[in-house]
Amino acid sequence: MKELLKLSASCCYKVSNGMTIQFWLNMWFSYAPLRMLFPHLFTLSSHQNATILEVYNSNTNLVTLAWNRPIRDKECQQLESLLAEIERNLSIFYSVDRRVW
């Protein structure tokens, strides 16, 4: 069972339609999930289990995130960095998301 958990934790995802990949929780564009790369923003998120499809509009290339409170000035830089990473690394396709090892 421990080996299965380790294997699952080292798995990452290839985004296609974004329907099954959790935006904050799954590793889909970097060496770690967004919750670990942007922990403060993750804590502020009111929709921590959202899928990529739920937060990303591929027609407009806009990300819509929900927060527990308004974002403060000191958090804007983190948010800008997150959005820039997403813009560089996210493309939605009309096929099924895949797990890759």
Could you read off the pLDDT of 40-86 as tens digits, one per residue? Answer: 999 999 999 999 999 988 788 888 999 999 999 989 999 999 998 88
Whole-angstrom distance, CA of residue 81 vs CA of residue 66? 17
Single pTM value for the model? 0.77
- What token pair was written down for 58? 């591929």
What beta strand segments (E) does 40-87 contain? Answer: 56-57, 62-63
Question: pLDDT grade, residue 17 (50/70/90)?
Answer: confident
pLDDT the model gives residue 60: 83
Please say whether the beta carbons of 95 and 21 come within 8 A. no
Whole-angstrom distance, CA of residue 22 vs CA of residue 5? 18
Question: pLDDT grade, residue 94 (50/70/90)?
Answer: low
66 vs 19, higher pLDDT: 66
Whole-angstrom distance, CA of residue 99 vs CA of residue 21? 9
Task: For 24, list phi and psi in degrees, rounded to 5.
Answer: -85, -30
